[in-house]
Amino acid sequence: MDINNIINKIVLPESPQWAFVLGSGVDVFNNLQEVVKYNFTDLFGIKPTVSGHSGTLTFGYLKSGSPLIAVLKGRYHVYEGHSLDIVTLPLKVLHALKLKKLVLTNAAGGIDSSFTPADLMLITSYFDCITPNPKGLLNIIKNPPEKYHSNLLSLALALTKKYPNLKQGSYAAVLGPSYETTAEVQMLKMQGASAVGMSTVPELKYALANDIDALALSVITNVWGVQTEMGGHKEVLEVSKIASKQLELFLTELIKLS
Ligand code: HPA
């Protein structure tokens, strides 16, 4: 995939300062001004296959005079059969456009039993069970989760007092696409995971390695062990939509503060 060919299709008034990757059902920043909008399929030549991910890249302003932001509705996943090169392709394009700040969001299952559906969780550390590892899965899991540091994470942590539903914890990125068995959830819990999902970590690693100030957060759509049953992808989409109101308030404040 030639990045220059993709960039040539994008016409913008200036470089985007911020990008927001929206996970399943996450629905924020729908009222941007001076919008320039592209389809993932037209831009990257690959159709996203997950329902609830429309696959659009929209640029616009929250209001006049504010920084240009990019909103990516949807992403490519390894479980769709894509390589990590494709999973990070939209970010490579944004990086070439001189993106400064990135917020990655996802829908995740809560493992910490103090969480409730529609909570938001700032990801402060992660387990990467998506990127192939020659040492095998158990080697990854038995180590403590990987911490990361960024300006955006520090700013976001300072806001947790103000938003009661804004929690923090460690995110286990697993391959999916099936949801976890009870035994898998128990194992992840024993290792210290607070939530589990199927994305985000490859993108977070790419951003941090390329000097993009990055923050990752989960919308907790279900809580394992507390609920008697998990309602599948439909429930994930419904709860994400509900949590999006709070998320938009928080993200708007984050933009103002930074
Ligand atoms: N597991 C993995 N991914 C998810 C979940 C879950 O419980 N909920 C939303 N995305």
Condensed to tens digits (0 to 9), the pLDDT of residues 44-103 reads 999 888 776 679 999 999 998 899 999 999 999 999 999 999 999 999 999 999 999 999
Burial 113-140 (b: 16+ CB within 10 A, else e): eebebbbbbbbbbbbbbbeeeeeeeeeb
User: 114 or 139: which carries more pLDDT confidence?
Assistant: 114
Residue nearest to atom 9 of ligand 1 (CA): 108
Does residue 141 have a pLDDT over 80? no
Residue nearest to atom 5 of ligand 1 (CA): 109
pLDDT score for 216 = 98
Residue nearest to atom 3 of ligand 1 (CA): 197
pLDDT score for 137 = 72
Report CA(196)–ligand 1 centroid distance (Å): 6
Q: How far apart are CA 137 and CA 89, in angstroms?
A: 25
Which of 5, 193, 16, 10 lies closest to 103 in space, CA to CA? Answer: 16
Q: How far apart are CA 191 and CA 180, in angstroms?
A: 15
Confidence grade of residue 219 (pLDDT, cut at 50, 70, 90): very high
Q: How far apart are CA 10 and CA 29, in angstroms?
A: 20
Confidence grade of residue 163 (pLDDT, cut at 50, 70, 90): very high
Report CA(197)–ligand 1 centroid distance (Å): 5
DSSP per-residue letters across 38-54: EEHHHHHS----STT--
User: 24 or 100: which carries more pLDDT confidence?
Assistant: 100
Confidence grade of residue 136 (pLDDT, cut at 50, 70, 90): confident
Determine the 3-state secondary structure of 169 from DSSP.
strand
Ligand 1, residues 77, 222, 223, 235: which to mutate, most atoms within 8 A of Cβ?
A: 222
CB-based burial of residue 87 (10 Å sphere; 0-12 exposed, 13-18 middle, 19+ buried)?
Answer: buried
| Strand 146-147 with 101-110, pairing | unpaired
In the chain, the domains with their CATH numbers are 3-257 (3.40.50.1580)
Ligand 1, residues 219, 221, 224: which to mutate, most atoms within 8 A of Cβ?
A: 221
Residue nearest to atom 10 of ligand 1 (CA): 108
Confidence grade of residue 142 (pLDDT, cut at 50, 70, 90): confident
Report CA(2)–ligand 1 centroid distance (Å): 33
Average pLDDT value for the chain: 92
Residues at CB less than 6 angstroms from ligand 1? 107-109, 179-180, 196-198, 221-222, 236
| AA identity, residue 188 | L
Ligand 1, residues 236, 237, 238, 241: which to mutate, most atoms within 8 A of Cβ?
A: 236
pLDDT score for 52 = 62
Report CA(132)–ligand 1 centroid distance (Å): 20
